[in-house]
Amino acid sequence: MATAVGKKFPNLNVDAMNDMGDTFKINVLEEAVNNKKKVLLFWYPKDFTFVCPTELRAFQDALGEFEKRNTLVIGASCDTPEVHFAWLNTSKDNGGIEGVTYPILADSNRNLSSILGILDITNERYDEETDTIQVEGDNVTYRATYLIDEEGVVFHESINDMPLGRNVNEYLRLVDAYTHVQEKGEVCPANWEEGKDAMEATRDGVADYLATH
């Protein structure tokens, strides 16, 4: 599977739903470029499941921090807009995501997730009797995450297996690091956080950094 890092995000319109019950189209590439903002796009397997609501709520809790960093947050799965809206209207006590305000893509035709190569298709086989392609696996997405810059270029991607929830703070750190590179021209060493020393991307710069850390 080819990486998306360093490439323009796919230019594709996808159905989406928000907490007001509005169905509309979102083009993630255009959201970044037209609004001159970074975008965090995170995919999760299914609505009304177990790890997924904890992640959507965690991103909601951090939404203000992403907004401070000029970063839009967009969720995504292969559920339909109607299922998204039902989940958005289900209380936390019942496993719902009531109170989530960022948009959620409804890639029910799997066009975008197929382009990205993040679907859980463990095997495909041709069935001669029915003359069809049979898919083994749920054909839903892994927990894939994309960070996209203001030019629509992907600067981070990661994919977790279904049981592994994400650390939202790590994505804030990555946005901070990339912004530092953009603004200062320095590179960010291991475990870098906002306020810590970065370094020049030269042999002397590395030597100076290692000598003092």
Q: Say which amino acid occupies 193.
A: E
Q: Tell me how far the alpha carbon of residue 162 is from its chain's centroid.
A: 14
- Point out the catalytic residue in the list 16, 17, 41, 52: 52
73 CA to centre of own chain:
8
Residues whose CB is less than 8 angstroms from the CB of residue 116 and which lie 6 or more positions away in sequence, other chains included:
4, 10, 144, 146
CA torsion, points 18, 101, 108, 32, in degrees to nearest 10? 100
- Partnered with residue 62 across adjacent β-strands are none
Residue 10 per-residue DSSP state: P
Q: Is 78 a catalytic residue?
A: no
Catalytic residues: 52
